[in-house]
């Protein structure tokens, strides 16, 4: 193990470590924790900004994260949630909102953290050099870019397409809204009744308790190009039976969201490894990435440990072997299936979207969640898609095939 700093200590000046993780959000912090637990001299760098975004999660997925075992990081919940297509769906699956401060404390425990921004990364066959804006230099055998999408230092594949965008505008109210949205709701695809807002965008509303009130968020599931969150204010106001000025006046706070759906994976043939959203971990079916990133931290850290152990001490680690742990073969095929579904959702209108999700949430509660997980084995995901296709009416089947029946059939072959 190189470097003399102890976990949790402050570092100043020039330093030499095994791994530098750029980006101190949940993904970078989780990987730094996993690398530290593996005995690697690891330095996490970032501006130490507060984790202000509300992170929602399915409770069963949260409990599967090994780094969180024995820790309570749930802030609000668990609670049962519903969805609405043209009808109500009781989902039978618990949901909750993370306590960002508690999560941060768990993921930073024992991690050596340096406040600062990376300005430059110089790669070499001996040791890589990370230069901070302060002028300090950090020498290491592996650099991980976990600073969010798009990656700051890891290159994306040449010619890769831009993602679709999930955008949203939300208000936090002091009390739950009246009516159906006063119950925890993860997706409500019904349109507001006001004719001037009913057909503007293909959206759903998300309505859940949060630490400081009740969040109601108008959300574009996926769009190319992105819809400006501010354009959703009149639609959200109409949904809540008020006008935009009154809605904003009543809000405890507001939030605007922009999430890249289906961003390309970074190139494999480069010395810098990406992780988290920077590696394209944002799930194209949901926009979630935090829990998946935390789940992947331990196996990726194991791959980093192996890469360092099999390389000469005066040489950098084999980044390709680590990339293959960030994106295992099975996950790549699962992502291909998810990307196909995303493309289909960007092509259909609001009525078709309601019908699709009505059929989707009619699947058994042990079946439909598999579609929303990034790590679902491709054969299981294909089985879910085939089951949905089989029970759907012909109008939906045509949309699922997106004009290419042979390509769709190939995607559904078991892997």
Give the C-alpha distances (Å, rounded to integers) separating 261 from 18, 289, 329. Answer: 32, 10, 20
- Please tell me the predicted confidence (pLDDT) of residue 412: 57
Residue 141 · residue 317 · CB < 8 Å: yes
Segment 338-365 mean pLDDT: 87
- Please tell me the predicted confidence (pLDDT) of residue 268: 87
Quick one: how far is CA 128 from the chain centroid?
28
Is residue 9's pLDDT more than 60? no
Is residue 71's pLDDT more than 80? yes
Residue 114 · residue 9 · CB < 8 Å: no
- Please tell me the predicted confidence (pLDDT) of residue 408: 58
Q: What is the pLDDT of residues 188-199, one digit of tens each?
A: 999 886 554 544
Buried b (16+ CB within 10 A) or exposed e, 55-92: bbbbeebbeebebbeeeebbbbbbeebbbbbeeebebe
Quick one: what percent of the chain has pLDDT higher than 90?
A: 67
Is residue 11's pLDDT more than 50? no
Confidence of residue 399 (pLDDT cuts 50, 70, 90): low
Segment 325-334 mean pLDDT: 95
Is residue 210's pLDDT more than 90? yes
Q: Is 39 exposed, middle or buried (0-12, 13-18, 19+ CB in 10 A)?
A: exposed
Which of 34-43, 154-163, 225-234, 390-399 has the highest mean predicted lDDT (pLDDT)? 34-43
Comparing CA positions, the residue from 340, 274, 281, 361 lying closest to residue 83 is 361
Is residue 407's pLDDT more than 90? no
- Please tell me the predicted confidence (pLDDT) of residue 396: 67
- Please tell me the predicted confidence (pLDDT) of residue 299: 98
- Please tell me the predicted confidence (pLDDT) of residue 410: 59
- Please tell me the predicted confidence (pLDDT) of residue 394: 75
Comparing CA positions, the residue from 358, 350, 351 lying closest to residue 392 is 358
CATH 3.10.20.30 describes domain 15-53+100-159+263-327: no
Is residue 341's pLDDT more than 70? yes
Sheet with strand 128-132: strands edge to edge: 15-16, 137-140, 128-132, 118-122
Segment 19-46 mean pLDDT: 97
Is residue 302's pLDDT more than 60? yes
Domain boundaries, the chain: 15-53+100-159+263-327, 164-261, 330-411
Buried b (16+ CB within 10 A) or exposed e, 334-348: bbebbbbbbbbbbeb
Hey, which bits of 4-117 come out as E strands? 15-16, 19-22, 42-46, 56-58, 74-84, 88-98, 112-115
Phi, psi of 229 (to 5 degrees): -55, -35
Segment 157-182 mean pLDDT: 85
- Please tell me the predicted confidence (pLDDT) of residue 16: 86
Whole-angstrom distance, CA of residue 372 vs CA of residue 60: 13
pTM across the whole model: 0.90
User: In the CATH hierarchy, which top-level class contains the domain 164-261?
Assistant: alpha beta
Segment 114-124 mean pLDDT: 93
Confidence of residue 292 (pLDDT cuts 50, 70, 90): very high
Give the C-alpha distances (Å, rounded to integers) separating 304 from 41, 191, 267, 279, 340. Answer: 12, 48, 18, 16, 31
């Amino acid at each position: 193990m190189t470097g003399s700093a102890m976990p949790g200590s402050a570092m100043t000046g020039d330093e030499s470590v095994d791994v530098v993780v750029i980006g101190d959000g949940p993904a970078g912090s989780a990987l730094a924790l996993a690398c530290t637990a593996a005995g690697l001299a690891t330095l996490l760098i970032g501006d130490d900004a507060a984790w202000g975004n509300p992170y929602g999660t399915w409770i069963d997925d949260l409990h599967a994260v090994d780094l969180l075992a024995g820790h309570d990081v749930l802030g609000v919940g668990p609670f049962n949630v519903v969805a609405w297509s043209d009808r109500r769906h009781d989902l039978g699956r618990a949901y909750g909102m993370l306590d960002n401060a508690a999560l941060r404390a768990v993921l930073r425990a024992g991690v050596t953290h340096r406040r600062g921004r990376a300005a430059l990364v110089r790669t070499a066959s001996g040791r890589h050099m990370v230069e901070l804006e302060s002028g300090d230099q950090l020498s290491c055998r592996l650099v991980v870019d976990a600073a969010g999408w798009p990656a700051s230092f890891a290159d994306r594949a040449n010619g890769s397409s831009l993602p679709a965008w999930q955008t949203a505008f939300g208000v936090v109210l002091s009390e739950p809204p009246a009516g159906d949205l006063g119950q925890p709701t993860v997706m409500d695809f019904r349109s507001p009744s006001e004719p001037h807002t009913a057909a503007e965008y293909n959206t759903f509303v998300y309505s859940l308790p949060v630490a400081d009130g009740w969040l109601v968020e108008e959300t574009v599931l996926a769009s190319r190009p992105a819809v400006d969150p501010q354009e959703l204010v009149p639609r959200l106001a109409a949904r809540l039976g008020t006008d935009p000025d009154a809605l904003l006046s009543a809000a405890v706070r507001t939030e605007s969201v922009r999430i890249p759906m289906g961003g390309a994976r970074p190139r494999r043939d480069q010395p810098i490894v990406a992780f988290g959203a920077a590696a394209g971990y944002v799930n194209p079916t949901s926009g979630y990435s935090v829990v998946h990133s935390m789940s992947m931290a331990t196996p990726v850290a194991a791959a980093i440990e192996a890469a360092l152990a099999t390389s000469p001490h005066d040489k950098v680690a084999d980044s390709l072997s680590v990339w293959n742990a960030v994106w295992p073969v099975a996950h790549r095929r699962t992502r291909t299936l998810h990307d196909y579904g995303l493309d289909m959702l960007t092509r259909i209108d609001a009525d078709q979207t309601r019908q699709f999700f009505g059929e989707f949430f009619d699947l058994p509660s042990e079946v439909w969640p598999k579609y929303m997980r990034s790590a679902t084995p491709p054969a299981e995901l294909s089985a879910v898609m085939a089951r949905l296709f089989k029970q759907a009416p012909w109008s939906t089947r045509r949309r699922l095939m997106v004009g290419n029946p042979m390509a769709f059939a190939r995607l559904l072959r078991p892997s």
